[in-house]
Structure 1
Amino acid sequence: MGKTSDLNKLVFTIGQRYGTFDPFTWADKLNLDIQWKELLPKPLAKTVYFFDVPVIMMSNNIKYSNQRYFVLAHEIGHVLEHNGLAAYYVSNKVHERKTEREADTFAMAVVTNLYIEENGHLPDTYSDLRRNYGLPNLEN
């Protein structure tokens, strides 16, 4: 992913195309396969590729939690911007941290826009987004 402005344009374009910022609708429209699995204790999700087709594995731990929104948006960020980089990840921790930050930034833009879609205004605090969409605790 590039600059934050480019990322925001991408998120907004996809949201406009699909008429929502709900990452589950996006996954459906993008024909992304979501599989709910036991992934304990972590990760909360992982994207794997079978014959160059992404499959998003989501932890059963968050299946009924609001956290599933942020986590899925994060994985969609990887699919759209980091397609096929899983093998490179293993050999390059600096690149892994960078792509994780980028996917988090993508997910933050998605859920912020989803909040606006559902509430008609920006969230007042980061805690509003944490409560509604399971964003990570910044203290950890």
Structure 2
Amino acid sequence: MSNDLNELILDIGTRYNTFDPFVWADKLNIEIHWKDIYPRPLGDTIYFGSQPIIILANEIRDSSQRYFVLAHELAHVIEHDGLVSYYNDRTFFKHKLEYQADKFAITLVTNLYIEEYGNLPGTYADLTHCYGLPNISD
């Protein structure tokens, strides 16, 4: 999945000329709704007919975490078509599809980091600071 995942993200990033998940959602005509759903989940994907709608917690609207959570939910829409899901930042008790969505999100925001800064991040903490990746010690 790793090479296929990288190719998929590079293909979409090239098509839309960015790795910004908010631009991707717009280009894919995916509505984003900000709601009071905190503390859990931070993000949710629902479907209205066949149209996906991503719900993000108001509490992360002004946080860097909004990038990772949206990228995670986009993974479900793009890779797990029709799956109703929500993002939970707890690393234990995760289903295989949640790990896949996390990998997708990490790859997407890593490419966004390269787009914005011109180089790979030096550490995982750089990505956490810029895009709200979950703390790996959880």
The CA distance in 1 between the partners of 2:84 and 2:114, in whole Å, is: 33
Tell me the TM-score normalised to structure 2 length. Answer: 0.92
Aligned to 1:66: 64
SS of match in other structure, 1:35? strand
Amino acid at match of 2:50: D
Unaligned stretches of 5+ residues in structure 2: 86-93
Aligned mates of 2:83, 2:119 — CA distance in 1: 36
TM-score, scaled to structure 1? 0.90
Q: 2:29 aligns with which of 31, 41, 44?
A: 31
Structure 2 counterpart of 1:81: 79
Runs of 4+ in 1 over 6 A off after TM superposition: none
Consecutive unaligned residues of structure 1, counting only runs of 5 or more, are 88-95
The structure whose Rg is larger is: 1
Q: Which amino acid aligns with 2:83?
A: L
**Aligned residue pair count:** 130
Letter in 1 for 2:16: Y
The answer to which structure has the higher helix fraction is 1
- Alpha-carbon distance in structure 2 between the residues aligned to 1:43 and 1:34: 15
C-alpha distance in 2 between matches for 1:21 and 1:85: 23
Aligned counterpart, 1:44? 42
Say what the alpha-carbon RMSD is for the aligned residues.
1.1
Indicate if the aligned counterparts of 2:25 and 2:74 stay in contact, CA closer than 8 A.
Answer: yes
Within the candidate set 97, 101, 111, 1:99 is matched to 97
